[in-house]
Amino acid sequence: MSTDPKTNAGLFERAQRTIPGGVNSPVRAFRAVGGTPRFIASARGAYMVDAEGRRYIDYIGSWGPMILGHGHPAVLEAVQKAVAEGLSFGAPTEREIELAEEILSLVPSLEQIRLVSSGTEAAMSALRLARGATGRSKIVKFEGCYHGHADALLVKAGSGLATFGHPTSAGVPAEVVQHTLVLEYNNLAQIEEAFALHGREIACVMLEPIAGNMNFVRASVPFVTKLRELCSRHGALLVFDEVMTGFRVALGSAQSIYAKLIPGFEPDLSVFGKVIGGGMPLAAFGGKRAVMEQLAPLGPVYQAGTLSGNPVATACGLATLREIRQPGFHEALAAKTKTLLDGLLGAAREAGVAMAGDSEGGMFGFFFADALPQNYPAVMATDKARFNAFFHAMLEAGVYFAPALYEASFMSAAHSEADIAATIEAARRALKP
Ligand code: KE4
User: Chain-wide mean pLDDT for the chain?
Assistant: 96
- Whose C-alpha lies nearest to ligand 1, atom 8? 147
Which of 146, 169, 241, 269 has the most ligand 1 atoms within 8 A of CB, as the residue to mutate?
Answer: 146
Residues with Cβ within 8 Å of residue 414, at least 6 apart in sequence: 45, 46, 68, 69, 70, 72
- Whose C-alpha lies nearest to ligand 1, atom 9? 147
Q: What is the pLDDT of residue 160?
A: 66
Query: Which band of pLDDT confidence, cut at 50, 70 and 90, is reported for residue 333?
Result: very high
Partners of residue 181 on adjacent β-strands: 140
For the annotated catalytic residues, the residue numbers are: 146, 241, 274
Q: Which atom of ligand 1 is nearest to the CA of 28?
A: 24
HSE toward the beta carbon, residue 138, CA cutoff 13 A: 20
pLDDT at 50 over 70: yes
Q: What confidence tens digit (pLDDT) does each residue in 124-144 have?
A: 999 999 999 999 999 999 999
- Whose C-alpha lies nearest to ligand 1, atom 18? 63
Q: Which atom of ligand 1 is nearest to the CA of 213?
A: 19
Strands in 17-137 per DSSP E:
40-44, 47-50, 55-58, 112-116
Distance 321 CA to ligand 1 centre (A): 19
Judge if the beta carbon of residue 95 lies within 6 A of ligand 1: no
The 10 Å Cβ neighbour count of residue 140 is 27
Which of 42-56, 77-91, 95-109, 168-182 is predicted with the least confidence, judged by mean pLDDT? Answer: 168-182
Judge if the beta carbon of residue 244 lies within 6 A of ligand 1: yes
The closest alpha carbon to 64, from 322, 244, 223, belongs to 244
- Whose C-alpha lies nearest to ligand 1, atom 23? 25
d(CA 393, CA 275): 29
Judge if the beta carbon of residue 2 lies within 6 A of ligand 1: no
Judge if the beta carbon of residue 119 lies within 6 A of ligand 1: yes
d(CA 102, CA 83): 21
Query: Which band of pLDDT confidence, cut at 50, 70 and 90, is reported for residue 209?
Result: very high
Query: Which band of pLDDT confidence, cut at 50, 70 and 90, is reported for residue 166?
Result: confident
Percent of the chain with pLDDT over 70: 98
Q: What confidence tens digit (pLDDT) does each residue in 378-412 have?
A: 999 999 999 999 999 999 999 999 999 999 999 99
Question: What is the Cα 198 distance to its own chain's centre?
Answer: 29
Judge if the beta carbon of residue 148 lies within 6 A of ligand 1: yes
Residue 348 CB burial class (10 angstroms; 0-12, 13-18, ≥19): buried
Q: What average pLDDT does the segment 258-273 reach?
A: 98
pTM above 0.85, yes or no: yes
d(CA 272, CA 103): 10
The 10 Å Cβ neighbour count of residue 264 is 6
Q: What average pLDDT does the segment 146-169 reach?
A: 83
Partners of residue 364 on adjacent β-strands: 359, 409
Which of 121, 142, 153, 244 has the most ligand 1 atoms within 8 A of CB, as the residue to mutate?
Answer: 244
Q: What is the pLDDT of residue 161?
A: 64
**DSSP state letter for 140:** E
Q: What is the pLDDT of residue 59?
A: 98
Query: Which band of pLDDT confidence, cut at 50, 70 and 90, is reported for residue 24?
Result: very high
Report CA-CA distances (Å) from 174 to 131, 150, 155, 205, 380. 18, 14, 10, 20, 25
Q: What is the pLDDT of residue 1?
A: 54
Q: Which atom of ligand 1 is nearest to the CA of 118?
A: 4
